[in-house]
Structures are given as C-alpha cells and as structure tokens.
Amino acid sequence: MTSIDNLIANTIREDVRAGYSYNVPDSSGYIKLDAMENPYQLPDTLRAELAQRLADAVLNRYPVPSYAGIKERIRAKLGVPAGFDVILGNGSDEIISILCTATARQDKRAVVLAPIPAFVMFQRSAQFAGMDFVGVPLKADFSLDRAAMLAAIAEHKPALVFLAYPNNPTGNLYDEADMVAIIEALGENGIAVADEAYHPFARTSFMDKLPQYPNLVVMRTLSKLGLAGIRLGYLAAAPALLEQFDKVRPPYNVNVLTQVAAEFALDHVEVLDEQAARLNEARTELAAAMAALPGVTVFPSSANFITLRVPDAEKTCAKLFAERVLIKNLSRMHELLANCIRVTVSTPEENSVFLNALKASLQA
C-alpha cells in the first residue's frame, strides 16, 4: 500500500471507503429526461429583469442570515399555515442532512425509517449522520404497507420517518389515511417528514395539517417548480422544532445569488405554476401514449415524471442512449422496480422524440 492508501485507511470511515459518490452523468448533446427538471425557462422579459436584479446583488458581503425576504414570500405564496415558519437549505438534500444531524443521538444509534424504494438521500444522509436506516418495502402496486410500517415503528422507534408525497422513484401519492396512521403512531417519539418535492404537480399537500400534528414537518424544494439551478429547499414546521433544526444549519447556507433569484421567481410564481400545469397536461398525454405500446406497463404519477415497466430495461435504456435520450434505469434500485425505467415529462418536442425512440427500442 502507498502512503496515501495508509492515510485513507487510517482516517476515513470504513463505510465511506466502501461507498460511492453520487454520480450525475454528463448530459452534453443529449435530450435530458433523467433528472425531473422543468424544461421551460422564464419568459424573456422576466429573464431580462432577473438579470438586472442579479447584477445589482451585493456579492462582496455575506447573505443576511435571517433570509427574511425569501421566507416571507414562501409563507405568503406557498401555503405555510399562520403561526408556522420555514428554514432554508441548499436544496432539499441539505434539509434532509439537517434533519438527520439534529436527531442523531450520541448516546445510542438513532433510526431513520422510510418506505422503499425511495429517494436515495434518505438512506445516505442517515448513514453519514451515524444513524441506522430501516427500509420497509412498498406493496407491489407501490402503495404503503401500513401494517408493516406500523410494525417497524413499534419495533425500531425511529427518530425520523420520511414519507415522499408523491414518491420518487414511483411517482404515486400514498393514501392519506395511511400517512395519518403513521404520523399518529409516531406521536411524541418521532418526527414524520412529508417530502413534497413534487408538490407543484401533485397539487395536494400535508402542509395544512401542520397545526394538527406537532410531530409533522413538510419539506419542499423550488427545484421541481423550475428553479433546479439555484438549489433552494425549505422546511415548514412548528417554530419550536425549527429552532432546534436551525442550530445545526450551516451559517450562510443560501448564497446571495440564490436569494435574489428565489425572491424574484416567487414574485412571479404564477408563471411557474402555469408551466407546471402544462407539464401535467403533457404527463397525461405521454402516459396514455406509452400505455398503448405492447409490453409496457405505466404506473400512475402525480409528479413530473412517469415510471413504466418494459420487457427489458437494460436493452431499452441502451437503445434510448444510442438515440441521445437520457432516462433513468430503475431496475437496480429494488426488486419491486424490476425492468422499470423513469422518464421526465418535458416539452411536446422532447416527449415526441422520446416516445419515437421508445417505440423503436421495443420493436428492435
């Protein structure tokens, strides 16, 4: 072994050495349908106005740490109940990390629990915080297994339970009664996290239930709304809980350019909502077109992506890749996702290119 090998072996955690980096493939020259991004930019007039706002941003000073302007707009425009507030993160990934850091115990191993398959950062953030992760498989139709979830809560007594609403990578909304049963089962011993990253497309939420359940927090991101490039997530919860989470939030974690861009976009949120409505219409059309293809099973989606099962996911993805179309092969994530792929709903032009490539891959 070399000196650097010995250094790494002596200093880096074993589970980190055995792990892997979060890989994002290069999409240059491809139609990018693998990351659930909004394909539409702001109208030219708004982009010009935003450019001036960004040019006037004060870059030589740290951000104002209270982020009062963004928070006020989020509370006013995005349905946060009266008496509740938000904290901000560098995307929802940092919010997940903050939640895990705040609930990781030093006297014993705390537990994060979530239905699986689910967003990979639930498990990764739990691991990096020194927590145990318990995954409870969904049913074959991707619905929650309420009995199994309640049994796991009773056995493992998790500090956090993540419930993606709708779920990534499956796209479906969990049954509201099942969600409520889990929140109530946790009671004062655990925090239920409703991950509503795809709220702009689902148009249903647990945000209005925050006053009813003190152990409920709602996590969202502006990424899916059309602002993936600025990396801004937020968490709504009771002020007393937010006070604790804020203690582990890194200082100045939201940069000035993100702050300016987010405030501007939220002043024009109706434009982003209209884009989301267009994507929902396109989702319906694309799902129907794929469902008509032989050998394809399309699963219901309330997000801006669709999960489908094809006869051979590896072959289909390879054929699409050769046609310069990037999608996500879900087959390796979990046995429930055997031969499943996920495609982002995009513009009519990109949806057409994808659909034609998919048809050709199934005929080859």
User: Which DSSP string corresponds to 214-259?
Assistant: TTEEEEEESIIIIIGGG--EEEEE-HHHHHHHHTTSPTT-S-HHHH
Q: d(Cα 43, Cα 67) in Å, to the nearest integer?
A: 26
pTM for the whole thing? Answer: 0.95
CA distances from 78 to 22, 200, 208, 244, 260 (A): 30, 10, 11, 23, 17
pLDDT (tens, 9 = 90+) of the chain, 364 residues, equals 899 999 999 999 999 999 888 878 788 899 999 999 999 999 999 999 999 999 999 999 999 888 999 999 999 999 999 999 999 999 999 999 999 999 999 898 999 999 999 999 999 999 999 999 999 999 999 999 999 999 999 999 999 999 999 999 999 999 999 999 999 999 999 999 999 999 999 989 999 999 999 999 999 999 998 999 999 999 999 999 999 999 999 999 999 999 999 999 999 999 999 999 999 999 999 999 999 999 999 999 999 999 999 999 999 999 999 999 999 999 999 999 999 999 999 999 999 999 999 999 998 6
Q: d(Cα 248, Cα 95) in Å, to the nearest integer?
A: 10
Q: pLDDT tens-digit profile of 159-181?
A: 999 999 999 999 999 999 999 99
Q: Which residues contact 69 (CB under 8 A, 6 or more apart)?
A: 259, 263
Q: d(Cα 266, Cα 300) in Å, to the nearest integer?
A: 29
pLDDT of the residue at 147: 98
Hey, what domains does the chain have and what are their CATH numbers? 3-43+270-363 (3.90.1150.10), 60-267 (3.40.640.10)
pLDDT of the residue at 66: 86
Looking at residue 353, the DSSP 8-state letter turns out to be H
- Calculate the average pLDDT of the chain: 96
CA distances from 46 to 264, 267, 278, 307 (A): 9, 11, 19, 33
H/E run at residue 64: none
First to last CA, the chain: 48
